[in-house]
Amino acid sequence: MTVNSSASDATALEITRDLLHAADTDIVRFFEYFSPGCVFRMGNNDPVEGREAIQQWVAAYLGSVAGMKHAVLEEWVDDDVAVVRVEVTYTMKNDATFTLPAVTRTRIADGSVTEYMIFMDPGPVVAAS
DSSP the chain: -EEE--GGGHHHHHHHHHHHHHHHH-HHHHHHTEEEEEEEEETTSPPEESHHHHHHHHHHHTTTEEEEEEEEEEEEEETTEEEEEEEEEEEETTS-EEEEEEEEEEEEETTEEEEEEEES--HHHHHH-
Rg (CA), the chain: 14
- Residue 126 — pLDDT band, cuts 50, 70, 90? confident
The yes-or-no verdict on residue 2 having pLDDT over 60 is: no
Structure confidence at residue 10 as a pLDDT band (50, 70, 90) = low
Give per-residue pLDDT as tens, 28-53.
999 999 999 999 999 999 999 999 99
Question: Does residue 10 or residue 129 have the better pLDDT?
Answer: 129
Task: Check residue 69 and give its pLDDT.
Answer: 97
Domains and CATH numbers, the chain: 2-128 (3.10.450.50)
How many CB atoms within 10 Å of residue 2? 9
pLDDT, tens digit (0-9, with 9 covering 90-100), for 63-92: 889 999 999 999 999 999 999 999 999 999
* Residue % of the chain over a pLDDT of 90: 80
Q: In the prediction, which pLDDT does 25 show?
A: 96
